[in-house]
Amino acid sequence: MKTLILVGYGKMAKALAEGLKDKYRILVCGRDCAKIQNFCDTLNLTPLYLKDSTLEITDREVLLCVKPYALDSFVFKGRAKCVYSILNAVSVEQLKGAVNAEFYIRAMPNVCASIKQSITSLCGDAQYKKEAFDIFNAIGKSIWLEEKHFSLATALGGCAPAFLALVAESLIDSGVTYGLSREDSTQIVQTLFSGFSSLLEQTHPVLLKENVMSPGGSTAQGVATLEKHALKSAFLEAILASKNFA
C-alpha cells in the first residue's frame, strides 16, 4: 500500500482522506497536535507529529491541504517524490520555490468533494498524471488541463457553485414572493436541480431549453424576460471577474 503524507486536517483534507484511506496509508500532519489526533481518531489514520514544524519528505508523496498562506509555516526537509497541492492560486512555479520535489501536481477540487462529486482540475508534471487521477478521482471526477487555463477552471468549477446557489435562492424566493410556502418552494427547487443535473449529463442545455419552450408559451415569456436582463452576459462577466481573481 502506497503512503501519502497529508498536510492539513480541514474540510478538503477530510474529503480526500475519506476517499483515499482504503487505498493509501495516510500519515497526517499539521501545526496542532490535538487537531491531528482528533482527525486521525475520527478517520482511523496515522498521526505524524512534527518537531519544530519540520517535515521530512525525502522520496515521499505529499498532499498539501492547508491554506495557501500556511505553506510558510512548515519546513520541508529533503526532496519529495511528488507534491500534490490543492492550494488556491498557488502556481507550480511557486510550489517549486516552497517545496523541493521530483514531480509537482496542482489540483483544484470544489465544494462537492464532501459528497464525492467534485470536478477537480489537474495540471503539472504529466509523468505523474495517472497517480494524480488515482488520488483526485476518489472525490469525484478529474480533468487534466494546461496550467494557463487553471484560473478559468477555478472560476467555473470552484466559484460557480456559489453562482448556482444564488440561482437556487432566487428561484425559491420568487416562489415565496408570489405565494408558495417556503417549504413547498424549496422542495420544488431542490428536486428541480437534482433532476436537471441528471438530464444535463445526457442532453445539451440548448435542447433542454427548447424542450420546455413551446411557441408563445409561459417558459418563452420567462426566458425572454431573463434575456432582457442580460442573464448570459451577467454570467460571462461573473466568470471573468472570478477568473481574474483566482
Ligand X SMILES: NC(=O)c1ccc[n+]([C@@H]2O[C@H](COP(=O)([O-])OP(=O)(O)OC[C@H]3O[C@@H](n4cnc5c(N)ncnc54)[C@H](OP(=O)(O)O)[C@@H]3O)[C@@H](O)[C@H]2O)c1
**Which residue pairs from 98-103 have beta carbons closer than 8 angstroms and sit at least 24 positions apart in sequence?**
98/71, 98/72, 99/57, 99/62, 99/64, 99/71, 100/57, 100/76, 101/57, 101/62, 103/127, 103/128
Tell me the closest approach of the beta carbon of residue 214 to ligand X, in angstroms.
Answer: 39
Give the span between the Cα atoms of 60 and 83, in whole angstroms.
8
| Residue of 133, 109, 138, 139 whose CA lies nearest to 121 | 109
Nearer to ligand X, 20 or 185 (CB): 20
Name the residue nearer to ligand X (CB basis): 13 or 101. 13
CB of 205 to ligand X, least distance (A): 24
How far apart, in Å, are the Cα atoms of 237 and each of 121, 126, 151, 184, 198? 21, 32, 14, 32, 27
- Paired with 141 in beta bridges are 119
CB nearer ligand X, residue 13 or residue 80: 13
Question: Minimum Å distance from CB 79 to ligand X?
Answer: 22
Q: Which CB atom, from 99 or from 185, has the smaller least distance to ligand X?
A: 99
Minimum gap (Å) between residue 74 Cβ and ligand X: 7
C-alpha cell at 13: 483534507
In the complex, the residues that contact ligand X under the rule CB under 6 A are 8-13, 30-32, 35, 65-68, 70, 73, 86-88, 108-111, 158
Partnered with residue 140 across adjacent β-strands are 118
Element (H, E) at 170: helix 160-177
**Could you give the 3-state DSSP secondary structure of residue 200?**
helix
Nearest to 246 by CA among 156, 154, 176: 154
In the complex with ligand X, the residue whose CB is nearer, 118 or 185, is: 118
Cβ distance to ligand X smaller for residue 3 or 88: 88
Pairing of strands 118-124, 101-108: antiparallel
Write out the three cell numbers for 163.
Answer: 453562482
Nearest distance in Å: CB 67, ligand X: 4
| CB of 111 vs ligand X, minimal distance in Å | 4
CA dist., res. 114 & res. 77, Å (int):
31
**Closest distance to ligand X from the beta carbon of 246 (Å):** 10
Of the pair 99, 108, the CB lying nearest ligand X is at 108
